[in-house]
């Protein structure tokens, strides 16, 4: 007999190598103001005020990536870091594009994950719940990715 998790896994299509068990969003918890949330799988937003990069990080205590489990609709924290170590968030997208194509071809991608960048590493959470951590490369570390500086 299949467990509910196995049953859900058999029904979900693969999305660029990942089965989408979760819809993802960013979350910022603050010391003296309300928590801010991103939209679920909301990588393509037109309003900058809805983007993580444009949230005022003053008093940031914790930055995290949350997942809403498809089918169960429960929310859980998949990764978190201290607000003082947070640098940036990135969506990870993938799109299928025909190999033999002429001219310009624009196609929206599908969300396959979300990355949280700290002062020294990049943590990627995929829609299937897999988490990968790696140190920042020298090239990545050269960029001023910090969206905020404590006391600065």
- In a domain, residue 31? The reply is yes
Measured distance CA(82)–CA(74) in Å, rounded: 23
Per-residue model confidence as pLDDT tens digits over 130-152? 899 999 988 887 766 556 554 44
- In a domain, residue 14? The reply is no
- In a domain, residue 121? The reply is yes
Task: Say which residue the tokens 């190598």 belong to.
Answer: 17
Displacement of CA 40 from its chain's centroid (Å) = 10
pLDDT at 65: 97
95, 134, 90, 96: which is closest to 113 by C-alpha? 90
* pTM recorded for the entire structure: 0.78
Q: What are phi and psi of 49, to 5 degrees?
A: -65, -15
Q: Which residues contact 74 (CB under 8 A, 6 or more apart)?
A: 68
Domain that holds residue 133: 19-42+55-142
| DSSP letter string, 79-94 | EEEETTTEEEEEEEEE
Out of 37-41, 58-62, 121-125, least confident range: 37-41
Strand 86-94: give its sheet, edge to edge: 86-94, 110-118, 121-126, 131-135
Query: How many folded domains does the chain comprise?
Result: 1
Report residue 114's pLDDT band, with 50, 70 and 90 as the boundaries.
very high
pLDDT at 148: 53
Per-residue model confidence as pLDDT tens digits over 15-59? 545 566 889 999 999 999 999 999 888 877 677 777 888 888 889
For the cut 60, the answer to whether the pLDDT of residue 120 exceeds it is yes
For the cut 80, the answer to whether the pLDDT of residue 7 exceeds it is no
- In a domain, residue 71? The reply is yes
- In a domain, residue 6? The reply is no
- In a domain, residue 49? The reply is no
Q: What percent of the chain has pLDDT over 90?
A: 33
- In a domain, residue 10? The reply is no
């Amino acid at each position: 007999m299949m467990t509910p998790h196995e049953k859900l896994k058999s029904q979900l299509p693969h999305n660029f190598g990942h089965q989408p068990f979760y819809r993802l969003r960013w979350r910022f918890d603050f010391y003296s103001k309300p928590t801010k949330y991103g939209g679920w799988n909301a990588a393509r937003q037109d309003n900058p005020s809805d983007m993580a990069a444009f949230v005022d990080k003053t008093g940031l205590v914790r930055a995290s990536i949350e997942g809403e489990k498809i089918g169960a609709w429960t929310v859980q924290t998949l990764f978190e870091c201290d607000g003082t170590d947070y640098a940036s968030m990135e969506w990870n997208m993938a799109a299928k594009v025909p190999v033999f194509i002429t001219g310009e071809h624009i196609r929206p991608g599908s969300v396959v994950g979300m990355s949280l960048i700290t002062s020294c590493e990049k943590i990627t959470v995929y829609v299937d719940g897999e988490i990968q951590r790696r140190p920042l490369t020298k090239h990545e570390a050269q960029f001023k990715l910090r969206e905020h500086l404590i006391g600065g």
